[in-house]
Amino acid sequence: MNRRTFLWSIVCLFAFTTTLTLTNLNRRRKIRPPGVTSEEEFLSLCIRCNMCADICPTKGIEPDNTSLSTLGTPELKGYCAVYLDLVDPSPSKNSAFKKLRPSAELCFRCINACPTGALRDVSVKDLRMGLAEVNRSTCLAWRYNICYRCVDICVFDAVEIRGQGIHVNEALCVGCKQCEYICPVPSKAIVVRPLGAEELEEGRRLRERRGT
Amino acid sequence: MNLKRLIQRVRHLVQILFFVFFVYLVVGAVCSFTVGDVQIVEPLGALQIVIASRLSIPQTILIPFLSAVAIFVGVTILLGRAWCAWACPIGSLTEFTEYLMKKMRFKPLLERKPKAYAKDRRLWGKEAKLPTLAAVMLSSAITKTPAWCSFCPIGTVCRGSVAGGFVAGAEMAIVGAVLAANTYEKHFFCKYICPVAGLLTLISKLNPLIKPRVEQVGCRRCAACAIICPWGLVVCEEKSFAECTKCFVCYSKCPYGVVTISLYETH
């Protein structure tokens, strides 16, 4: 290695780290595939091979191409199949499934496929990808007392009918996005939003207290 | 058709097959893919996440992960950098671009000025990809993410099929820049920047098999091999063939036909 190639390496290093640091600022939170317990740990282990995106039965996982530093990392843009046979969610199918199987399961194909352990092997109890939120001004259940499709679809019974409208039980919701997928309102009255690190921790504690 | 032409035809066929395999058929990308039950992980990505995560890979995944890396490393020790000339999707695209350039009679800019070319060789030394490799390692240690993987054009091409379409958005620019660099010099990205090639060069220093050999009797020291070789190796003077990608272009195109391939050779 001569002096010029050494200088070239220094330039490379600075260019790389500067771009990455700049693009890391103000990063939008994203909904990750199941098995991500901390965003930093996930980003340090993911080699962007998109095995999970290829193997996902619903094709809900897609590579993210919005930010340069996380280019190619998987993001849950569609929805997570809760029962494997339930690739296309529909309320009637889901209700039948609920009766047949007492406890909900996720297919976890992405976790099994991940070569580096960026998606950790978690149980459904610890799983949390996001949290559903109801927009009361557009939700048909709140406005006209009709629809309730999200209540039907939720295998975790996290969307409950309480009082005059629907509420999301924060301790039960894992953020599988099926309710968002099935919502008939074009602008989606129930939306899953990504969680911050503190909220993830809080959700885990809440669940432990409930003993679910 | 004689063997010299046949071997290049076979190589291009293998390249096309691997391209279709990696971009459209395989589960995952080049970085990590499964063939049946066997999982293979590319060593640069593996090295980066080991550095970035500071060895916090889960215990349960460690053994399959290491064996998946070992397969790729083992193949590299056996076959040298054959990956670059026979399988790499970006290598195939680069060669295709150069084929188109040749058809259009477009000469790379650097080759038009031989003097500047000779001078530039000092700046862009062949070993420039080793410092890039070091820079990638340091970057991943500082930023705690596998920094190169986001930008890697090889992974980008393979991810394109998952993203729908060939390549999408910002990724188009990455592959475009790599291919556009060929108008400056042949194999620009592969020769000077690609850290995967750098890592494979380091590993293939252990490789003893399949090396080009020049018969000293017929060789006229014209150094045409340096221009013929996509990697700029002066085949008639080269001692260690760690850079050799086993593309056999020197064997096919030596004007005096004195390059032969020796299966096993010790230095």
**What tens digit of pLDDT does each residue of A99-148 get?**
776 666 778 888 888 888 888 888 777 788 888 999 999 999 888 888 88
What is the distance in angstroms between the Cα of B174 and the nearest Cα belonging to chain A?
Answer: 11
pLDDT of residue A71 exceeding 80: no
Query: Does residue B74 sit in the same domain as residue B179?
Result: yes
Q: Which residues of B touch A116 (CB under 8 A)?
A: 32, 41, 45-46, 49, 57, 61, 65
pLDDT tens, residue by residue, A9-65? 777 777 776 776 666 655 667 888 888 878 878 888 888 888 888 888 888 888 877
Decide: A104 and A172 in contact? Cβ < 8 Å: no
Query: Does residue B217 sit in the same domain as residue B201?
Result: no
Residues 6 or more apart whose Cβ sits within 8 Å of residue B20? none
Q: CA B117, B122, B123, B127 torsion: positive or negative?
A: positive
Residue B10 pLDDT: 92
B157 against B90, higher pLDDT = B90
Decide: B159 and B29 in contact? Cβ < 8 Å: yes
Which residue from A36, A200, A207, A162 is spatially nearest to A108, judged by alpha carbons?
A36
Query: Does residue B254 sit in the same domain as residue B157?
Result: no
Query: Does residue B168 sit in the same domain as residue B247?
Result: no
Distances (CA, A) of A54 to A79, A105, B26, B32, B212: 14, 21, 8, 12, 40
The pTM assigned to this predicted structure is 0.79
Query: Does residue B163 sit in the same domain as residue B71?
Result: yes
Mean pLDDT of B68-83: 89
Query: Does residue B172 sit in the same domain as residue B116?
Result: yes
Q: Which residues of A touch B127 (CB under 8 A)?
A: 1, 5
d(CA B154, CA B267): 33
Q: Which residues of A touch B65 (CB under 8 A)?
A: 115-117
The tally of domains found in chain B comes to 2
Query: Does residue B227 sit in the same domain as residue B177?
Result: no
Mean pLDDT of A179-197: 86
pLDDT of residue B263 exceeding 60: yes
Which residue from B30, B66, B39 is spatially nearest to A112, judged by alpha carbons?
B39
Query: Does residue B150 sit in the same domain as residue B253?
Result: no
Residue B40 pLDDT: 85
- Using a CB–CB cutoff of 8 Å, tell me whether B6 touches chain A: no
Q: Which of A171-185, B164-178, B209-223 has the lowest mean pLDDT?
A: B164-178
- Using a CB–CB cutoff of 8 Å, tell me whether B35 touches chain A: no
Query: Is A47 within 8 Å of B149 when comparing Cβ atoms?
Result: yes
Determine the structural domain holding residue B226 and report its residue range. 208-267
B115 against A139, higher pLDDT = A139
Query: Does residue B238 sit in the same domain as residue B173?
Result: no
Query: Does residue B23 sit in the same domain as residue B123?
Result: yes
At B15, is the pLDDT very low, low, confident or very high (cuts 50, 70, 90)?
very high
Closest Cβ opposite residue A50 in set B28, B61, B132: B28
Query: Does residue B222 sit in the same domain as residue B243?
Result: yes
Query: Does residue B212 sit in the same domain as residue B196?
Result: no
What is the distance in angstroms between the Cα of A84 and the nearest Cα belonging to chain B?
Answer: 19
pLDDT of residue B14 exceeding 90: yes
Residue after which a domain boundary falls, among B176, B206, B236: B206
Q: Where are the domains of chain A?
A: 29-196
- Using a CB–CB cutoff of 8 Å, tell me whether A5 touches chain B: yes
